[in-house]
């Protein structure tokens, strides 16, 4: 699931969210906005049973995916592209 909220100026906070235990292990969101570097935006476990990470982004078009432990790639249920 992806949530968007406007920040001051023209930036948008994009929050990427997955279940806390699916897939198991560490998960990072990687994409155009971080040069596809794992670990830059690692999802953190929250008390509500999810894992999230928020990324402030400028307006634009971004592609992304999730990368989990052992090289497991996942797509977001809402799609793998952002239009801000």
pLDDT by residue (tens digit) across 58-70? Answer: 999 999 999 999 9
Tens of pLDDT, residue by residue over 6-56, are 998 899 999 999 998 888 899 999 999 999 999 999 999 999 989 999 999
Helices (H) and strands (E) in the chain, counts: 0, 8
- What total of structural domains would you count in the chain? 1
CATH number at residue 31: 2.60.40.10
Cα gap 73→45, rounded to integer Å: 19
Task: Look at residue 29 in the predicted model and tell me its pLDDT.
Answer: 97
Task: Look at residue 21 in the predicted model and tell me its pLDDT.
Answer: 84
Exposure string over 29-59, b if 16+ CB within 10 A, otherwise e: bbbebbeeebeebebeeeeeebbbbebebee
Cα gap 26→43, rounded to integer Å: 8
Domain that includes residue 68, residue range: 2-83
pTM: 0.91
Q: How confident is the model at residue 78 (pLDDT cuts 50, 70, 90)?
A: confident
Cα gap 70→84, rounded to integer Å: 31
């Amino acid at each position: 699931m992806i949530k968007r909220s406007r920040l001051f100026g023209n930036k948008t906070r994009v929050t990427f969210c997955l279940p806390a235990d699916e897939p198991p292990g560490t998960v990072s969101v990687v994409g155009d906005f971080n040069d596809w570097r794992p670990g830059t935006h690692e999802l953190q476990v929250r008390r509500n049973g999810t894992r999230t990470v928020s990324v402030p982004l400028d307006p634009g078009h971004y592609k992304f995916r999730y990368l989990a432990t052992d090289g497991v790639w996942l797509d977001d249920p809402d799609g793998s592209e952002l239009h801000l």
